[in-house]
Amino acid sequence: MVHKNAVLNADPSPAQMTKISIIGAGGHAKVAIDVAVAANGSDAIEGVYDEDAKMCGRTFCGHVVQPARGIPPNALAFAAVGDNGARKGVVDRRPHLVWATLAHPSAVVAKSAQIGPGALICAGCVVQPGAVVAAHCVLNTKSSLDHDSTLADFVHLGPGCTVCGHVKVGEGAFVGAGSVVKDRVHVEAWCVVGCGAAVVEDVGAGSVVAGVPARLLRPRV
């Protein structure tokens, strides 16, 4: 489900033109920072924060990493954590924050697409008309979501992933790099689709699938 404060098109809201507090200091955060700077300029980042005390005090992308507890209440923030479950935890622990939506200028997002708060649309992505990207989803580099398809909260599409029309992907599912999901297929919550898979049939909740065509490997642990 798209949250009430979802962004309904590719244009950033006025709030998103303010500086963003990035939560996370790993590889995924590098990408998020790059997208934010590309979209909103070199001063887009307020600071970088992390929950891991070992990361704090280090310089990351030109910012000294600070403890996540130091983010001001009601700040505009972005959960820059690639793992879906971990990203959900970061968000659930901070109901007081306002979540920014980040879209790279090279991404093509249809005006009728719905993009939720906290979503990341990376370089080269395509989101077609009628598509829904719910809160805190990741569309990684050059992934595509075709018309009338829906991603629930915390979904991650890997680089070069192709999701065809009228597909439904459940909460927290991970669709691996280079994979293809056939039109009208349902990929249920917290599934993992292996890299390069061809998903031609519905995938049950919590399943791990891979191959061409994709087959069940095991339940997700």
Q: Kindly state the average pLDDT of the residues 213-220.
A: 89
pLDDT at 74 over 80: yes
The residues facing 110 across adjacent strands are none
pLDDT tier, 7 (very low <50, low <70, confident <90, very high otherwise): very low
Structure tokens at 172: 């927290």
- Domain 14-99 classification at class level: alpha beta
Q: Where in the chain is the domain with CATH 2.160.10.10?
A: 102-213
Q: Domain 102-213: what homologous superfamily? A: Hexapeptide repeat proteins (2.160.10.10)
Looking at residue 221, its pLDDT comes to 57
Q: Where in the chain is the domain with CATH 3.40.50.20?
A: 14-99
Residues 6+ apart with CB under 8 A from 27: 82
pLDDT at 4 over 60: no
Going by the DSSP 8-state scheme, the letter that residue 16 receives in this structure is G
- Token pair 């890299």 is found at 195
pLDDT digits (tens, 9 = 90+) for 158-203: 999 999 999 999 999 999 999 999 999 999 999 999 999 999 999 9
Name the phi and psi angles at 151, rounded to 5: -105, 125
Q: Which residues are catalytic?
A: 147
Which residue blocks in 54-159 are alpha helix, DSSP H? 84-92
Give pTM, 2 decimals: 0.90
Percent of the chain residues past pLDDT 90, beyond the cut:
88
pLDDT at 130 over 90: yes
